[in-house]
Amino acid sequence: MIKGFIEKIMEMKDNLRRDNLLPHEKTIRSGNIQTVITEQYRLLRSRLSSLNGSHGNKVIAVTSTQKGEGKSITSVNLAIVMAEDTKKKVLLIDGDMRKPSIHAFFNCKSEYGLVDLLTNKIDIESILVPSGVNNLTILPAGGPVESPSDIIANPRFKEGIERLKKRFDYIIMDSPPIIPFADMNILGDIVDGILLVVKAETTPKERVVDALKSLNKENIIGVVLNDSKKRLTKIYY
């Protein structure tokens, strides 16, 4: 349940928005991102770990009401600081099978991945990709599929996540947007908590409210207000 509003936790600078930057040049490891931004991600990480409570928050899905609000960039940079700061084993899953992008942030291929969790042919070991960051492993989305919603709704998806939970201390899942699919309703019950990214200047408030209505609010552990023009990012929970 969203209870209130707490202070600014991230500041995004214009250099991150330069169109000529490739995805892998936008991670906080690339050298293109100012220290202040890295620090804000660190703060987000520590806020999340202090939110432990009843959820445990071992598996966190990062979503937004619609595409293009910063789910992927938030997932990537959060996963990096989690791996670096906690020294625990972190897995970053690309769960946005309609618009996969995690592999591009790490400059690797997405030939096999999450979708292959549902085929017996491929062993989990062989679809995990090292990220180049200590303690951080990637599970790409894998090849294109006709119906990503069916994959998420398949009981084997949940089983796959349970297996991965045994091998990793934390799992961050870059997830589909809440609208227009029902994926997040299902995913919400599989993960321990949902982090909602809201782009303050573009996402109409009503849309956020509607999107939140469609989710079980107990699952939402925090909201990142991604407000790059005002160079302000806040979290409320």
Residues that bind ligand ADP (CB under 6 A): 12, 16-17, 26, 64, 67-73, 101, 226, 228
Shortest Å, Cβ 8 to ligand ADP: 13
Residue 12 touches which member of Mg ion, ligand ADP, none, C-beta under 5-8 Å by kind: ligand ADP
Is 228 a binder of Mg ion (CB under 5 A)? no
The item of ligand ADP, Mg ion, none sharing an interface with residue 224, based on CB under 5 to 8 Å by kind, is none
If contact means CB under 5 to 8 A according to the sort of partner, which of ligand ADP, Mg ion, none does residue 192 touch? none
Containing H/E element for 210?
A: helix 205-213
- Are 98 and 176 a contacting pair, CB within 8 Å? yes
Of 18-26, 65-73, 108-116, 190-198, the segment contacting Mg ion by CB under 5 A is: 65-73
Site string for Mg ion, 109-128 (x = CB under 5 A): --------------------
Beta strands 232-236 and 220-227 are: antiparallel
**Which residues, including other chains, have CB under 8 Å from residue 125's CB and lie 6 or more apart?**
none
Cβ nearer to ligand ADP, comparing 67 with 167? 67
Residue 28: name its binding partner from ligand ADP, Mg ion, none (Cβ under 5 to 8 Å by kind).
none
The answer to whether residues 178 and 65 touch, using CB atoms and an 8 Å cutoff, is yes
Does 64 interact with Mg ion (rule: CB under 5 A)?
no
Nearer to ligand ADP, 11 or 169 (CB): 11
Distance from C-alpha of 226 to C-alpha of 218, rounded to nearest angstrom: 22
CB of 119 to ligand ADP, least distance (A): 26
For 15, which DSSP code?
Answer: G
CA-to-CA dists, residue 215 to 68, 100, 109, 176, 186, angstroms: 20, 22, 32, 13, 9
- The nearer residue to ligand ADP, 67 or 163, going by C-beta atoms, is 67
Q: Does 203 bind Mg ion (CB under 5 A)?
A: no
Residue with tokens 């549902």: 118
Residue 226 pairs in a beta bridge with 199, 233
Q: Phi/psi class of residue 198: alpha, beta or left (left: φ > 0; alpha: ψ in -120 to 50)?
A: beta
Of 16 and 173, CB closest to ligand ADP: 16
Q: Looking at beta carbons only, is 84 or 174 nearer to ligand ADP?
A: 174
Choice from 72, 74, 135, 228 touching Mg ion (CB under 5 A): 72
Between the CA of residue 33 and those of 10, 24, 79, 128, 201, what are the distances in Å? 13, 11, 16, 27, 22
Taking CB under 5 A as the binding criterion, the range among 27-35, 90-98, 106-114, 218-226 that sits at the site for Mg ion is 90-98
Nearest-angstrom CA–CA distance, 225 and 136: 25
- The residues binding Mg ion (CB under 5 A) are 71-72, 96, 101
